[in-house]
Amino acid sequence: MKAIVYESNTGFTKQYAEMLSAKTGLPLYARTDANNQLAPKTDILYLGWLSAGAVHGYTKAAKRFHICGIIGVGLQDPTEDSVKELRARNHIDQIPVFYLQGGLDCGKLNFLQRRLMNMMRKIVTKSLASKPELTRQELQHLQILEHGGSYVKVENLNPVLRWMETSS
Ligand SMILES: Cc1cc2nc3c(=O)[nH]c(=O)nc-3n(C[C@H](O)[C@H](O)[C@H](O)COP(=O)(O)O)c2cc1C
């Protein structure tokens, strides 16, 4: 692996990319800069924020670079199926895939994105309303959907770092 390349809308994916770069010593590039600064076919780790399940910028990055691993950063709770869903939605077969929880910063969203997040919040709130009691995780999720917040933690990167150690 020669570099880390990322695409971030509001900064959470960038935070993970920066932490990974600091931990591994690999140079870091925003996807649009990487096109000018990295040679075609360079081996990269790619991180992209998720929108409607799509890893932003992945298709474009895959056309130019050799992607060794992919990290999708979203808001949903990680589940056993998160990676399976990412693979299916983004048509990724062989490459190692990871899912990390980012966060929400409504102030950085554009008008359309804010409207979509409001719809998402209403759907989640409605689906949880019928439950007699909410878990701590569910309460935190509602809080973040309502007011914004971050799930980013350096420990979330442990599975990625373990994989990078064994694959280098
Ligand atoms: C329009 C829109 C669509 C989104 N769709 C998804 C989604 O399908 N799955 C998910 O887990 N998160 C989704 N999110 C949440 C973002 O992926 C999450 O906030 C992420 O941390 C953003 O990363 P960034 O700060 O690097 O842009 C969506 C957010 C927006 C604004």
- Check pocket membership of 150 for ligand 1, CB cut-off 6 A: no
- pLDDT for residue 99: 98
Q: What is the mean pLDDT of residues 51-60?
A: 97
pTM score, whole prediction:
0.96
Most informative mutation of 6, 50, 106 for ligand 1 (most atoms within 8 A of CB): 50
Does residue 168 surpass a pLDDT of 80?
A: no
The residue-averaged pLDDT of 93-121 equals 96
Nearest CA to ligand 1 atom 18: 74
Q: Tokens at residue 133, please? A: 């009691």
- Residues paired with residue 103 on neighbouring β-strands, in sequence order: 150
Q: CA triplet 30, 163, 48: central angle to 5 degrees? A: 25
Mean pLDDT score of the chain: 96
pLDDT of residue 8: 98
Please tell me the predicted confidence (pLDDT) of residue 129. 85
List, for residues 127-148, the tens digit of each pLDDT value. 988 899 999 999 999 999 999 9
CB 38 within 8 A of CB 44: yes
Q: Which CATH number fits domain 3-103+151-167: 3.40.50.360, 3.40.190.10, 3.30.300.130, 3.40.630.30?
A: 3.40.50.360
Q: What is the per-residue pLDDT for 114? A: 96
Residue whose pair of structure tokens reads 């102030």 in the numeric block: 107
Contact (Cβ atoms closer than 8 angstroms) between residue 1 and residue 164 = yes
Residues 6+ apart with CB under 8 A from 33: none
**Residue whose CA is at the smallest distance from ligand 1 atom 12:** 74
The answer, yes or no, to whether any atom of ligand 1 lies below 6 A from the CB of 109, is: yes
Q: Output the pLDDT for position 103.
A: 98
Relative orientation angle of helices 158-167 and 12-24, to the nearest 10 degrees? 40
- How far, in Å, from the CA of 50 to the mean position of ligand 1? 5
| The pLDDT of residue 5 is above 90 | yes
* Ligand 1 pocket test, candidate residues 51, 73, 106, 124, most atoms within 8 A of CB: 51
